[in-house]
């Protein structure tokens, strides 16, 4: 359940910002293929990369992780 929820939420966070995967990759230095892997649930980011994405998207960490809270 967690992985499905995380993948859906990280994709929603990106879509809410209006960025494409390619644009996020260019801005953050994370490979576009890696971003795609997060969004389909194939892999998960390490804690530093997760923090970078949360900050970049301006998303609530609790919402992304599925612990509590709402997306901003």
Digit-coded pLDDT (tens) for 55-72: 999 999 998 988 865 555
The span from the CA of 8 to the CA of 71, in Å, is 12
The span from the CA of 4 to the CA of 17, in Å, is 20
pTM here is: 0.85
Tokens read off for 64: 């992304």
Tokens 């990369």 correspond to what residue? 49
- Numbers of helices and strands, H then E, in the chain: 5, 0
Q: How many residues does the chain have?
A: 72
The span from the CA of 41 to the CA of 9, in Å, is 11
Q: What is the CATH number of domain 2-61?
A: 1.10.260.40
> Which pLDDT does position 67 carry in this prediction?
81
């Amino acid at each position: 359940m967690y992985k499905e929820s995380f993948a859906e939420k990280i994709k929603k966070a990106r879509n809410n910002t209006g960025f494409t995967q390619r644009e996020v990759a260019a801005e953050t230095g994370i490979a576009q293929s890696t971003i795609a892997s997060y969004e389909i649930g194939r892999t998960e980011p390490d804690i530093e990369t997760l923090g970078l994405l949360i900050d970049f998207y301006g998303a609530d960490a609790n919402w992304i992780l599925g612990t509590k809270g709402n997306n901003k």
